[in-house]
């Protein structure tokens, strides 16, 4: 019998001055070690989408969102039949100031960050480079 539980995650495409803020996962991570990605995480039980976006931005990079996040796309997938269905909600967060105005404070799970335009991001080791829901696919939806 399959597990009916659904895990909901948010993915945050953060843009400022036509560049995207990407973060690199720790080389010690069990999943996608050293890969570059957008920020995000699971929505906790009882949490709204807006509060999850705010919490994840603060936890992962120490930023607050300044404008209403824009919903871009959703996707779902299962690792295998015994795993819960995972629903991903992708949002665009536009930052209003200049890149240099933002102090990025990475959480312990992340090694590096950078501001990249789409052509620069294509040269990074990203999650699912050919997938419409991978890191580059998420950037392409903007």
Read off the pLDDT of residues 11-44 as tens digits, 9 standing for 90 and up.
999 999 999 999 999 999 888 899 999 999 999 9
Cα 132 to chain centroid, rounded? 14
On the CB side of 141, how many CA atoms lie within 13 Å of its CA? 24
Here the tokens at position 107 are 């959480």
Q: What is the pTM of this model?
A: 0.90
pLDDT one-digit tens code per residue, 41-82 = 999 999 999 999 999 999 999 999 888 999 999 999 887 888
What Å distances lie between residue 101 and 32, 50, 96, 120, 128, CA to CA? 30, 23, 10, 21, 31
Q: Which domain holds residue 20?
A: 6-140
40 within a domain of the structure (yes/no):
yes
Q: Would residue 24 count as lying in a domain?
A: yes
100 phi-psi bin (left φ>0, alpha ψ -120 to 50, beta other): alpha
Number of domains in the chain: 1
Residue 1 lies in a domain: no
In this prediction, residue 94 has a pLDDT band, given cuts at 50, 70 and 90, of very high
**Quick count: other Cβ atoms within 10 Å of Cβ 45?**
5
End-to-end CA distance of the chain: 39
Q: How many Cβ atoms from other residues are within 10 Å of residue 6's Cβ?
A: 10
């Amino acid at each position: 019998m399959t597990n009916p539980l659904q895990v909901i995650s948010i993915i945050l495409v953060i843009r400022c001055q036509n560049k995207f803020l990407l973060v690199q996962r720790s080389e010690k991570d069990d999943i996608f070690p050293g890969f570059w990605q957008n920020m995000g995480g699971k929505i906790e039980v009882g949490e709204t989408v807006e509060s999850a976006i705010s919490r994840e931005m603060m936890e992962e990079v120490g930023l607050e969102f300044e404008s209403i996040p824009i919903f871009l796309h959703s996707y779902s997938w299962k690792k295998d039949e015994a795993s819960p269905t995972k629903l991903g909600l992708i949002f665009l967060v536009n930052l209003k100031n200049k890149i240099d105005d933002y102090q990025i404070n990475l959480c312990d799970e992340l090694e590096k960050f950078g501001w990249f335009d789409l052509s620069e991001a294509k040269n990074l080791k990203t999650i699912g480079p050919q997938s419409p829901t991978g890191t580059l696919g998420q950037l392409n939806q903007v």
